[in-house]
Amino acid sequence: MLTGRRGYSPLFVSGNINTKKLQANHNKRIKVISEMIDRFCRLVDLVNEWSGRIGGWLFVPFILLTVTDVFTRYVLNHPWYYLDINKQFLGSLAVLGAGYCYLHKGHVYVDILVTRLSRRGQAIVELCLFPLILGALVPMLWKIAQDASNAVRIRETLSSSALYVPVYQFKCLLAFGVLLMILQAISFFFRNLKLVFTPKSGAKP
């Protein structure tokens, strides 16, 4: 068998080089995928952050409409029925703030035992709960999206209002809010996976 300068077989050297190339290509692909996931997570965070901030301003018309409705109804004894869209404003505020609240861990969370775990242990618990979250939110989104699609098709209006205020846009907003929650759950899922399966490096989901 032909050998190189130090007694190594050319076939062995060639095989070793190919293995290194494959490993380098594999590491490169992993890095690219990891960067894409990080960009996705940052984008979801950004959308939920600004959706919550913008949705918070809906408090202003909601409060104004509520005060005006109470004043005209109980002081003037002449209610303005065309103002009967408070529920739509409140619902929009809730759904736009749901993803924001999830992003900042503001939802009700039973953490009597979880807080005693390490961050990696908490990530494992959240990974186990992820199918339950999707199992609740995905069917909800499907049902709400169907309802919103039907409302858009018939141009649904609020029958209790004298002006017949359109409500299909509020139903579309509701579907959008649930979608943001699902995307935030997926974002946390990827980050928890990275934390659990990456050697300790101070990563924080």
Task: Provide the pLDDT confidence category of residue 12 given band limits of 50, 70 and 90.
Answer: very low
Q: Has residue 42 got a pLDDT over 90?
A: yes
Q: What is the pLDDT of residue 169?
A: 83
CA separation, residue 203 to residues 61, 74, 132 (Å): 41, 57, 25
**Count of domains forming the chain:** 1
Q: Residue 54: inside a domain, yes or no?
A: yes
The set of residues, in sequence order, having a beta carbon less than 8 Å from that of 23 and lying 6+ positions away, is none
Task: Provide the pLDDT confidence category of residue 15 given band limits of 50, 70 and 90.
Answer: low
Q: Domain containing 73: what range? A: 10-197
Contact (Cβ atoms closer than 8 angstroms) between residue 170 and residue 157 = no
Q: What is the pLDDT of residue 19?
A: 73
Span 45-70, pLDDT tens digits: 999 999 888 887 877 877 887 788 77
* DSSP labels, 70-85: HIIIIISS---GGG--
Q: Residue 203: inside a domain, yes or no?
A: no
119-123, 145-149, 156-160 — most confident range = 145-149
Nearest to 183 by CA among 144, 152, 141, 129: 141
Span 18-40, pLDDT tens digits: 676 777 776 778 788 888 888 99
* CA pair distance 84, 164, nearest whole angstrom: 10
Q: DSSP alpha helices (H): ranges in the chain?
A: 10-56, 59-70, 86-103, 119-154, 168-197
Q: Residue 69: inside a domain, yes or no?
A: yes
Nearest to 186 by CA among 116, 103, 90, 119: 103
- Round the average pLDDT of the chain to a whole number and report it: 79
SS3 6: coil
